[in-house]
Amino acid sequence: MTYADALQVLVIFKERDYVQSRPHLYIRSLKSNKWVRPKGVRIVGSCDSIEVLDWESEQWENIPFKEFDFGLW
């Protein structure tokens, strides 16, 4: 599954409003090796990376596409 596919799955679940069973996007930076559910995600096409907004620190972390994994659950 590509990142675009995962976003499409999330949109489908959001439109159907499955409040309890909706999957959530989790991202794991290969540096930290820790799965987190981000507060926000934005794609930076100019440098082929994503930026992830952390719930606690309210800071954006820039992660190159090659250095992260994602999952839905």
Contact 9, 72 (CB under 8 A): yes
Tell me how long the chain is: 73
Q: Taking the CA atoms of 14, 55, 72 and 46 in sequence, report the sign of the dihedral they define.
A: positive
pLDDT at 20: 61
pLDDT at 17: 59
Q: How far apart are CA 72 and CA 56, in angstroms?
A: 21
Number of domain units in the chain:
1
Tokens 């190159």 belong to 64
Structural domain boundaries, residue 68: 3-72
Q: What does the pLDDT profile of the chain (73 residues) look like in tens digits?
A: 676 777 777 677 666 655 566 677 888 888 888 888 888 888 887 888 888 888 888 889 888 888 888 887 7
Residue 10 is part of a domain; what is its CATH number? Answer: 2.30.30
pLDDT at 8: 76
**pTM score, two decimals?**
0.67
